[in-house]
Amino acid sequence: MTVRQQSPQIRQSIERLSLRPAAYLRALPRWLPPVVIAVLFVGGLAVHGWGGAAMLLVVTVFLAWLAALSWPTLQPSTRVLRVVALAALLALSVWVGLR
């Protein structure tokens, strides 16, 4: 089985696993998820040590999940920007964890 043959199966499993969390997010007030992500980001920058790193990692995982769901519809340049942004967030969380 090649990677191209395996990819649709992986994609379908990601989409299937994302149905419940996406439905839950859709049921929340529209303003709540961005506010929570912003609070976690600012809190992650404000809190020193692994507590702040954990908050930033939650933001990173959430944005990676959204990127994975939207990946097939993205242009290659947009994909690169998403990967760079996720790598920067990951590096930032490590830096916050070590300071």
Does 17 score more than 50 pLDDT? yes
Structure-model confidence comparison of residues 73 and 42, the more confident one:
42
Q: What's the rounded Cα separation, in Å, for the pair 44 and 28?
A: 23
Q: Which of 39, 36, 42, 11 is CA-nearest to residue 24?
A: 36
pTM passes above 0.85: no
